[in-house]
Amino acid sequence: MNNISRSKSSIWVFADYRNYFQNRVTLQLLAKANDLASELDADVCAIVFGYETDEYVAEYIAHGAHKVIVIEHPNLKPYSVEKYTALMEKIAREYEPEIILIGATSFGKELAPRVAKRLNTGLTADCIGLEITADGNLLQIAPSFGGNLIAEIITPDHRPQIATVRPGTFQEIPHNDGLRAEVVHLKIPGKMPADRLRLVAYERQPDCEQRLEEAKIVVCGGRGMGSKLKFKKLFELAKLLTGEVGATRPIVYAGWAVDDTLIGQAGKHIKPRILFSFGISGAIQHTAALTDADFIIAVNKNPNATMMKMADVAVVADANQVCSALIKALKERIQSKSDYSD
């Protein structure tokens, strides 16, 4: 392997650049890593695996990476959890980072525990906060026991300290073309494991136009919507409002909406300007992810539901009827505007 200066300790951020423009979690982690690095006197290093990754490398530098380690090969182009785990293990053993941060994307959630196991170290999943303790450990703050407790976890005896963080938890540093960084290209160290899985194709999930975590308007539905067919109306409403659809766990489990729409402890944390909540009771595992919503409008038959108590506007009514009425009103409004402009 090439030589990399190891005078300083290092905080690594795994670069998840699939769907780059919608998913900003790597940039958010680079920003947080910069905060942590200033307390540890460490550098921030983005770890990039793939092929023809120059534009992403440039982006990571412009968003605060002090250094970028790149391993490129055509075989690394499709994200492969087996290959990436093997690479991460090998370079982490060689260069001994203090901390590895990985986005809690579907891929990151598969990668992180494998890397932690191989390196015989701890992992805290789905962190909502990261700090440095007085004695220099990474304090990993994460919901636990079904979201009823917030745990503060350290890994004092093992290195690296590994944490995954949900998209949307931290703010990225604004893009700055003037930033410079050392870029180190490494060769694939040793033999890669053969893939036991073959990627046939992948396509973007059509349900999400924008990232749910970044959406200014979220239309969220729960079991009170009544059926898959009725739930579908929420997509129509979200489109008219230029928002995104979110869902509770029973909805995702029932297959009324895809996994990516799940909001809550096991899903996404959102911060919309306006959140519509249709037929949702307000279990803590769901509401834990709504704390940054500015304004909540809840519709529920039960005025005493927790969600209704949390809401700025609580409408006691049938969720499906209110959704249909809103769609009708918005369509009429759009129609009358276009009549006027004709």
Binding site for ligand FAD (CB under 6 A): 146, 222-224, 226, 248-250, 262-267, 279-281, 283, 285-286, 299-302, 305, 318-319
Q: Tell me the closest approach of the beta carbon of residue 254 to ligand FAD, in angstroms.
A: 10
Residue 303, preceding peptide bond in cis (omega within 30° of 0): no
Instruction: Determine the Cα–Cα distance for residues 131 and 140; give it in Å rounded to an integer.
Output: 7
Contacts (Cβ under 8 Å, ≥6 apart) of 38: none
Q: Which is nearer to ligand FAD, 5 or 321 (CB)?
A: 321
**Residue among 278, 266, 205 nearest 241 (CA):** 278
Residue 318 Cβ vs ligand FAD, minimum distance, rounded to whole Å: 4
Here the contacts of 33-37 (C-beta below 8 Å, separation 24 or greater) are 33/64, 33/99, 33/101, 34/64, 34/173, 36/11, 36/99, 36/130, 36/131, 36/132, 36/138, 37/11, 37/66
User: 13 or 251: whose CB is closer to ligand FAD?
Assistant: 251
Cα four-point dihedral sign 45, 81, 288, 146: negative
Nearer to ligand FAD among residue 16 and residue 318 (C-beta) = 318
The whole-angstrom separation of Cα 95 and Cα 93 is: 6
- In whole angstroms, the minimum distance from the beta carbon of 331 to ligand FAD comes to 22
Which is nearest to 175 in space by CA: 56, 270, 15, 283? Answer: 56
Q: How far is the CB of 128 from ligand FAD (least distance, A)?
A: 13
Tell me the closest approach of the beta carbon of residue 316 to ligand FAD, in angstroms. Answer: 9
Smaller CB separation from ligand FAD, 99 or 314: 314
- The DSSP code for 224 is G
Q: How far is the CB of 166 from ligand FAD (least distance, A)?
A: 11
Residue number, 64 or 222, with CB nearest to ligand FAD = 222
As a whole number of angstroms, the distance between CA 152 and CA 114 comes to: 22
Q: Are 154 and 92 in contact (CB under 8 A)?
A: no
**Least distance (Å) between residue 26 CB and ligand FAD:** 23
